[in-house]
Homo-oligomer: A and B are copies of this chain.
Amino acid sequence: MRLTSFTDFGLRMLMRMAADPSRAISTAELAEALCLSRNHLAKIIQHLARAGLIETRRGGGGGAVLARPAAEIRLGQVIRLLEEGQPLVECFGADGGACSIDTRCRLKARLRSAEAAFLMDLDRSTLADIALPPLPKNLVVSQ
């Protein structure tokens, strides 16, 4: 069972934004903080923005801000979003009709149930619960 690094990084970005919700953070700043390419990170930002989780502003002084209070953003929601289009097993995918077992398969329902349990458990927490405590300015983060 594996989440994509897309999701992994998305979560870390949100954790950082939640630590200082009033400030707009640029992709460049986030990329440096997470030791990640700015371009890749920008893709995740765009995805989150399109989903309405964050708001972005272009131009000087621009960047990304949480669209809602961190306490109103549930973790399950975030992961559902970032993992969307990633099927748990092949036959859950868009074209997953080639299964020879098909209708007689009693496994599918149980996998779906377990997936729901996974997400529901995460929904018990919000972004506010995992926000990064802001670092003291003089503390250097070792890479």
Q: Using a CB–CB distance below 8 Å, which chain A residues touch chain B?
A: 1-5, 7-8, 11-12, 15, 33-35, 75, 79, 83, 86-91, 98, 100-101, 104-107, 110-111, 113-122, 125, 129-130, 132-133, 141-143
Whether A107 and B15, one on each chain, are in contact in the complex, defined by CB atoms closer than 8 angstroms, is yes
CB distance from A119 to the nearest CB of B (A): 7
Complexed CA–CA distance, A141 and B87 (Å)? 25
Q: A1-B86, A3-B88, A90-B8 are in contact. Are A125 and B101 (CB under 8 A)?
A: no
Residues on B with C-beta less than 8 A from A106 are 129-130
If over half of A's interface residues share one DSSP class (helix, strand or loop), that class is named, otherwise mixed; here it is helix
Whether B130 and A12, one on each chain, are in contact in the complex, defined by CB atoms closer than 8 angstroms, is no
Which of the residues B34, B83, B101, B120 comes within 8 Å of A12, measured between beta carbons? B101
Whether B3 and A89, one on each chain, are in contact in the complex, defined by CB atoms closer than 8 angstroms, is yes
Whether B118 and A104, one on each chain, are in contact in the complex, defined by CB atoms closer than 8 angstroms, is no
Residues on B with C-beta less than 8 A from A7 are 89
Residues on B with C-beta less than 8 A from A104 are 132-133
CB distance from A111 to the nearest CB of B (A): 8
Residues on B with C-beta less than 8 A from A4 are 2
Whether A87 and B2, one on each chain, are in contact in the complex, defined by CB atoms closer than 8 angstroms, is yes
Closest 6 CB pairs of A and B: A117-B121, A118-B118, A114-B121, A106-B130, A117-B117, A107-B130
